[in-house]
Structure 1
Amino acid sequence: MQNQDVDLVREIMADWSAMKAARESFHGQWNEVIEQVLPRYRKFNEARTNQPGEKRTSQIYDATPMLALRHFAAAEDSLITPRVQKWHRLAVSVEELKDSPAIRQYLEQVTNTLFAHRYRWRANFAAQIGEAYVSHGAFGSGGIMIDDVLGEGIRYRTLSMSRTWFSEDAFGMVDKCCLQWGLTLRQAAQRFGRDALTPSMQLALEKNPETVYQFLHAIRPRRERDDSRVDSRNMPIQSVWLCLDAGNHVVQHSGYRTFPAAIGRFYATDDSPYGYSPAMDSLPDVRMLNSMEKTNIKAAEKAVNPPLMLPDDGALEAFDLRAGAMNYGMMTDDGRPLAAPLNLGTNVPLGIDYANQKREAVNLGFYVTLFQILVDNHQMTATEVLQRAQEKGVLLGPTMGRVQSEMLGSLITREIDILSHAGVLPEMPPELVEAGGAVEIEYDSPLNQAMRAEEGANVLRWAEASAPFIQADPQAARVMNAGAIVRGLGDVFSVPQKYMHTDEEVADMDAAAAQQVETAQILEAAPVAAGAAKDLTAAAVNATNARI
């Protein structure tokens, strides 16, 4: 190992130690979340002796928290990154360029290219982003790695929080992270090349290629670089892979043009880069629900199969509890039974009601109740639908909006960088080049549409309230800009642009309609003009005859 590599490894290990110390205080809560809500995950700082697939639900008596987390992740996916629609678009920040047809066409082509590459089956975006949302609901933080695989394009991979450490820059954005990966020697050779491995690793590769080694991937801003060079070691973001099981051997030192890890936080915390989650907020109710359900199970069992009271120990020898069994000698001569049930568990309904209250609290903590706002009542007017959607947007905007700006903003920026350098994107219009390529991301997901629903609800209320006055005075209808209202409602209701005519198409239709009216007027006036011409001709003939 060269001297510069020794210094580099020392810096990286010091960074990693500081990041681990900053996260240590979260492990207690996160492990409890895993126990109660996410048993399929391995605990933080847990020994790797436990194998995947082991049963870890023996102490869970109610599945409501696990189902609530699943519903939360599914709802976050459908509200922020629904696969069935384009949940973002690109726009220019320069006001003078917004109406340029060339720029609008270019941005639409770039957006279409992004979605086409993002949802290729090899990219695996849909599956990986869903696991990131599970991490948001459970641990408050989660992210996804955007890799550029040579010859194959963009690849996505969820960042497991148990193996992800990160820190923020001066502006609260994640700019440094350490990722621990377990790779077999065969995978390591595929990724880094056989020559990058140590001699002992190369020897083990020949004998047992499936042996797992632990690697640390350090990603951080590069402090010193030569701007005149474009090689991987002079890129703005430094990337270093260390093999922890081989004495922290440097197996790869390269870089990125943009930060490759998109990490989002659900709730912000004080003095920590890590976030809080709905599961962490709901832990008291989750613990109580689990304990109450355990008690209710015992109480119900006692109510259905109660313990028996017998006169003495000897009576048990001949007592038969099977259905239809005949127990002789268990009744006195006067008909009084010698065996009677001990009536316990008579307050089972009370326990069930209390447990249901806790279930409701858990669902509320995971926003499940809020997600069902539009499902509870199907018999709603358009105004009521918009009002409920607006309520959802107001309540979810501060939290899920943070996920959008932090995680999806970094993700889209990274995707554009990869596709641009791969030569996949169309050529940028000259006027946009002169403006410095100032492109902004505009989100158009169901969440953003719900946040804009207030405008549509106000318009519908205004139109409904104006109806009596328009009926009394039809001239009042001229106040409304019907065309703008229809377009605005189409945007609020997320109507695809292909179902609406553009301004140019409307202008062409107006011109064609005006031409038709003009032609009809000409045709209508033709008989009158012909008759007038005939009369004039006859009058002229008569005048000539009169002179003769």
Structure 2
Amino acid sequence: MNFQTIAASKPQGTLPSDGVPLKKNLPDRQRLVRKLKSMYEDRRDWVDRWKEIRDYQLPFVGEFDDTADKTNPARRRDLKIVHGVAWRAAQVFAAGVMSGLTPPSRQWFRFAYRRPELNTNVEAMKVLDTRQEIVSSVLAKSNFYNSIHTVYLELPFGQCPMAIFYDAENGVRFQTMTIGTYALEADGFGKVTTFARKYDMTLQQLADCFGVDALPDNLKGLLDNQTNLTKKYKVCWMVEPNSDKLPGYMDRLNMPYRSVYWLEKSESDEYLYVGGFEEEAVPVARYLVSGNEAYARGPAWFAEGDSKMLQLLKKDYLTAIELKIKPPMQGSPSLMNNGGINLMPGGLTAVDDQTQDMVKPLFAVDLDLKDAQEEIIRVEDAIKRAYSADLFLMLDNLDNSRMTAREVMERTQEKLQQLGPVVERLQDEFLTLILQRVYNIIDRSGGFPPVPEELQDLLSEEDVEVDYISPLAQAQKMSGLVNIEQAIAQTGQMAQVWPEVTKKINPLGAITKYFEMLGVPAMALRSDEEVQEMLKQEQQEMQRQQEMQEGLAMAQAAAPAAEAAKNLTAAANDSNPAITSWLGVPGGWE
């Protein structure tokens, strides 16, 4: 991010108000269709695993073409699930990551300069603090926090994309993509570069979103006749790097990233919209990536075997209980001839008086379910650990205790650091791209106040970076804070024997670094110049006080001599011969 971002006069990356696509310099439609088909074929093996996860763990997430979701969205999706601990663990996971990484109730990021010396310049940091507050306000006003929670709920599948659009009312608007509806492509370094999606829209929705003029002629006729307005059509959307971008141009066909919409069964030269984005607009949150694969693996992958085993255990456990409560029965043939055995409460069974042992269990059911119960609990705990639900529940219990936040962080630091690689990936690949795009959208819209004139030369070419100060991010930094505290404490102990060791500590530098790692805003701190001026004034005041004390001491020391001289003078004035002679006053002894 840069303060001097050059942007078009109108924010890009949104659908045009007129809905009319440009008719020249359009991308090759056939190439896009082939690429889309290839991307969907490459994800085929992944889809099989996603469906297994959906069926046995997360039945309320995802949308696939071979399901009955479209014809009956209200149908039950959890028919293969007897024990729903995985779904509950996923909810705990989503809530835990939400509160630990992007909590709505507290600041979880701040901006910093790439040059470290500027981060100690309070006036320069005030500029970033103001912009940080504006970005935070825009995020809170938009649907960001609702959308990001959905992302975390989808993350157990491995990944979840989230598109970021300019919105005239709220500044930005976010849209998450559920599993099964999208395809991804990564470059040779494992970075996701291309996003594709196929989804359904009604005729009326197409007209509202893209404009009537963007629709094919046959759909315009249906719209004019007000027929089949609710019929659904398959829309294809692809976002990819724009290899056809012309240097020096910033119109919507020459953005760094191309965004293209078309109908799946439309003519080869027809588009709903062709545009672009100035920066990555569809970041993808990924959990654990192997090599240069586009798709990732999430907690649900690690809990898949345990989840399937738990369903079998629970079924057998319930069957055993049912056999114990309602065992199979046996009776004499005469009972069957008289209408069978009525086992309903209050039911009547006709019995021949001559029949012995008329009704009894087919076999004795004397089951000890303790082992089964213990095994179910063990598998439940394994699933919770796979989702890190045990960690987040522990943190919640600690938060409800009387311990301070500092004590909680110290006690949970080791467990929180287990999530370190995931936190780093989400910050680097996902959250940073979100903040960068939101920052640039606000900047292009003129939402930031101008940089003060006295700082413009200093900040004209300065890049802005993101520093994360969320609870999970601070847990990663806790070791650095502890090191500073331990060093100062050790110095204090050694100073009792060797006072000279205190000269090794730079207290102002240490506290500045400590506050920086804690994420204390610049508005709460004084600049180095202000601190030096205060120290200078204190030294001057101390010197003035010392001079006054020295003057007072000299005055007090001179008082007896002055009194003696006064007495001598008085005696001389009284014509004391000895005194006047000693003082050399005329009229004394001759």
Category of TM-score, reference length = shorter chain:
0.7 to 0.9
Q: Which residue of 1 aligns with 2:422?
A: 399
- Contact residue 383 and residue 460 of structure 1 kept, 8 A: no
- Contact residue 61 and residue 154 of structure 2 kept, 8 A: no
Deviation at 1:134, TM superposition (A): 1.5
One-letter code of the match for 1:91? A
Q: Which residue of 1 aligns with 2:463?
A: 438
Indicate which of 141, 149, 155 corresponds to 1:130: 149
Deviation at 1:188, TM superposition (A): 2.6
Structure 1 stretch displaced more, 400-409 or 374-383? 374-383
Deviation at 1:7, TM superposition (A): 6.2
Q: Deviations over 1:384-431 (max 9, x none)?
A: 744433212321011221111101121111112211111112334424
Q: Which residue of 1 aligns with 2:31?
A: 11
Q: 1: distance between equivalents of 2:255 and 2:405?
A: 52
Q: Which runs of 5+ in 1 are unaligned?
A: none
One-letter code of the match for 1:178? A
Deviation at 1:25, TM superposition (A): 0.9
Deviation at 1:12, TM superposition (A): 0.8
Q: Deviations over 1:267-303 (max 9, x none)?
A: 1124521001110121110000011111111111112
Q: Which residue of 1 aligns with 2:321?
A: 300
CA spacing shift, 1:431–1:342, aligned 2, 3 Å = farther
Q: 2: distance between equivalents of 1:385 and 1:367?
A: 17
Q: Which residue of 2 aligns with 1:91?
A: 112
Q: Which residue of 2 aligns with 1:174?
A: 192
TM-score, normalising length: structure 2: 0.80
Q: 2: distance between equivalents of 1:283 and 1:189?
A: 43
Structure 1 position 356 matched with structure 2 position 377: yes
Structure 1 position 418 matched with structure 2 position 441: yes
Structure 1 stretch displaced more, 386-395 or 233-242? 386-395
Q: Deviations over 1:92-143 (max 9, x none)?
A: 11234332233211111121111111110xx200111111112211x20112
Q: Deviations over 1:337-393 (max 9, x none)?
A: 863573336032221111111101101111112223445665879887444332123
Question: Aligned ranges for residues 125-524 of structure 1 at < 5 Å?
Answer: 125-137=144-156, 139-150=157-168, 152-206=170-224, 207-208=226-227, 209-247=229-267, 249-312=270-333, 314=335, 317=339, 321=343, 339-340=360-361, 342-344=363-365, 346-375=367-396, 385-428=408-451, 429-434=455-460, 436-458=461-483, 473=497, 475=499, 478=502
Q: Which residue of 2 aligns with 1:81?
A: 102
Deviation at 1:432, TM superposition (A): 4.6
Deviation at 1:179, TM superposition (A): 2.3
TM-score, normalising length: structure 1: 0.85
One-letter code of the match for 1:169? D
- Contact residue 335 and residue 351 of structure 2 kept, 8 A: no
One-letter code of the match for 2:421? P
One-letter code of the match for 1:66? W
Q: Deviations over 1:469-513 (max 9, x none)?
A: 77x759599477777777777677777777777767776776787
- Contact residue 184 and residue 192 of structure 2 kept, 8 A: yes
Q: 1: distance between equivalents of 2:408 and 2:491?
A: 20
Q: 1: distance between equivalents of 2:135 and 2:486?
A: 38
One-letter code of the match for 1:285? D
- Contact residue 296 and residue 348 of structure 1 kept, 8 A: yes
Structure 1 position 26 matched with structure 2 position 46: yes
- Contact residue 432 and residue 438 of structure 1 kept, 8 A: no
Q: 2: distance between equivalents of 1:57 and 1:211?
A: 29
Q: 2: distance between equivalents of 1:7 and 1:424?
A: 33
Q: Secondary structure at the match of 1:268?
A: coil
Q: Deviations over 1:167-210 (max 9, x none)?
A: 12343222221122333333333332221112322233341544
Q: Which runs of 5+ in 2 are unaligned?
A: 1-20, 574-590
CA spacing shift, 1:354–1:151, aligned 2, 3 Å = closer
One-letter code of the match for 1:147? F
Q: Which residue of 1 aligns with 2:121?
A: 100
Whose RCO is larger (CA < 8 A, sep 6+)? 2
One-letter code of the match for 1:442? D
One-letter code of the match for 2:470? S
One-letter code of the match for 2:456? P
CA spacing shift, 1:56–1:533, aligned 2, 3 Å = same
Q: 2: distance between equivalents of 1:169 and 1:105?
A: 39
Q: Secondary structure at the match of 1:119?
A: helix
Q: Sequence identity of aligned pairs in percent?
A: 23
What is the number of equivalent residue pairs in this alignment? 542
Q: Deviations over 1:41-86 (max 9, x none)?
A: 3543325643222112232100101101111111111121111122
